[in-house]
Structure 1
Amino acid sequence: MSMSFLFTFTIIISFGLCILYASAELQRLSHSSKHDGALSFLVLGDWGRRGAYNQSQVSFQMGKVGEKLDIDFVVSTGDNFYDNGLTSDHDNAFQESFTQIYTAKSLQKQWYSVLGNHDYRGDAEAQLSPVLREIDSRWLCLRSFIVDSELVEIFFVDTTPFVEEYFTEPQEHKYDWRGIGPQKPYITNLLKDLELALRESTAKWKIVVGHHAIRSVGHHGDTQELINQLLPILQANNIDFYMNGHDHCLEHISDTERGTCLQPHSVPD
């Protein structure tokens, strides 16, 4: 059953200044912090609903919080457009669920987004298209990439291809696997690039973003593929926390042995 509430998770981080060095094969984007070294941003996911399911109300509150915090950017953890992503890079749902909803002045900042499983049920490559950035310059969605903001690096990971059932038991859904190629080499290369980038990172704070929960007590539960393949890399490289959407309950999960914070945020399905 769909929930009637939409939550957004806010991260506020303050940092000093330093010089960072590029590494690995993941595309790296630079986003400078404020002059005093402070950085603040909003995180949300599972949101593209043409204003329904309280999306418009949450957007209004995001605008107020964004103004108060003077945010630098917004992070989306995927499932950007319901129910089945976009049909093309000219789909009106892009403007009806994004441009026409997040209208507050404080939200006219860069949005960094990854794909979720609902996005893969449509034209996944449409969300990656530069055509959308021509329609709304705030929009930037890639499969996996790094946002380098001086003392913090945010590593965005494309988690949907990890989940076996999307390939073996898609039910009535059709997933757009263009650009993925064979599943296993894609995942192997992604993990190799991520591990190298995390290992070589000199950032004081290392944050990883993905769509699927690693651990969860919610409806979807744990994502075993991420436990087996992604979590050991995050633990070995001492990331500070992992943020995700997908499972629609508010949780704060900590790894007591390693100190890693696995931090889902709550959104409706």
Structure 2
Amino acid sequence: MHLERCNSGMSSVALLVSPLLLLLSLASAELQRVQHAPKEDGSLTVLAVGDWGRGGQYNQTLVAEQMGVIGEKLNADFIISTGDNFYNDGLSGDNDTAFFKASFTEIYTAESLQKPWYIVLGNHDYTGDALAQQSPAIREVDSRWISVNKSFIVESEIVEFFLVDTSPFVLKYWNESKFDWRNVAPRDTYIANLLKDLEDALTESKATWKIVVGHHPISSGCEHGNTTELREHLLPVLKAHGVHMYLNGHDHCLQRISSIDR
């Protein structure tokens, strides 16, 4: 994904599937923000990957090698992970550093990938310790790893990425005891607060491009199909607030980015 300013002052976007970071302290009712400066010419190049944490297996290493090639060619500014970062059951805790290194640090070794990685969680991350990936202890293992909260915003002047925790929306997960719902339950309150915070942030946004990132697809022709709960609760918010793109993982096919139908 490459974004840049045009002569008209607007921005163009084309899909092409360490700057100083400033964490802004905000009121607890607001989504936390991370600032990431674009290139000097105002452009920004972003790589996105999802459903990847395999200890190097299932072609993860091969994909990582190609990401390194593309990242160098395009001079990527940062990487977004759309979740399911560690299979099959996330991290066991913030001391699960061996698996973290085997699935992340020791895989994405290309120089072009030594950039910030902004992280959302997937359903497989929730069947382990769902709080571990936000732990400062994990960040100390690899400073590229940035998951300041389960939902947060990455600001980069012309574009804002709104990273949204979608697993709690999916009702069937709540009937399975293996999911770690600490700091999430009760579900209805968590979802209502998250949607309110997202609406407030989208309303206030002055970015030319507004891109929402989640793990689950809103609409999909692949195996998992549409996510009914996101179509009911999240999609109306995206339509009402001028979101230009929704980026997701979960379905293991080439369908990763969809525009917001209006």
Is the partner of 1:28 in helix, strand or coil?
strand
Residues 197-208 of structure 1: pairs in structure 2 closer than 5 A: 197-208=201-212
Which of 178, 181, 187 is 1:183 aligned to?
187
RCO higher in structure (CA 8 A, sep ≥6)? 1
Report the Cα distance in structure 2 between the residues aligned to 1:204 and 1:109, rounded to whole angstroms: 24
Residues 1-269 of structure 1: pairs in structure 2 closer than 5 A: 11-15=1-5, 25-91=30-96, 92-141=98-147, 142-168=149-175, 170=176, 174-251=178-255, 253-256=258-261, 258=262
Is the partner of 1:124 in helix, strand or coil?
coil
> Which whole-Å deviations, capped at 9, do the CAs of 1:152-200 have from their partners, x for residues lacking one?
00000000000000002x2xx6011111131100000000000010011
Residue identity in the other structure for 1:97: S
Report the Cα distance in structure 2 between the residues aligned to 1:253 and 1:81, rounded to whole angstroms: 24
Identity of aligned residues (%): 58
Report the Cα distance in structure 1 between the residues aligned to 2:251 and 2:145, rounded to whole angstroms: 24
> Which whole-Å deviations, capped at 9, do the CAs of 1:180-229 have from their partners, x for residues lacking one?
13110000000000001001110000000000000001111100000000
Report the Cα distance in structure 2 between the residues aligned to 1:135 and 1:255, rounded to whole angstroms: 37
Aligned 8 A contact 2:246 2:258 in 1:
no
Residue identity in the other structure for 1:174: K
Aligned 8 A contact 1:45 1:76 in 2:
yes
Aligned 8 A contact 2:85 2:125 in 1:
yes
Q: 4+ runs of 1 displaced by more than 2 Å?
A: 15-18, 21-24, 251-256
Residue identity in the other structure for 1:221: G
Corresponding residue for 1:265? none
Residue identity in the other structure for 1:126: A
* TM-score for the superposition, normalised by structure 2: 0.88
> What is the CA distance between 1:77 and its match in structure 2?
0.3
Aligned 8 A contact 1:15 1:39 in 2:
no
Aligned residue pair count: 242
Point out where structure 2 has 5 or more consecutive residues left out of the alignment: 11-23
Residue identity in the other structure for 1:98: F
What's the Cα RMSD here?
1.9
Residue identity in the other structure for 1:100: E
Point out where structure 1 has 5 or more consecutive residues left out of the alignment: 1-10, 259-269
Report the Cα distance in structure 1 between the residues aligned to 2:109 and 2:146, rounded to whole angstroms: 17
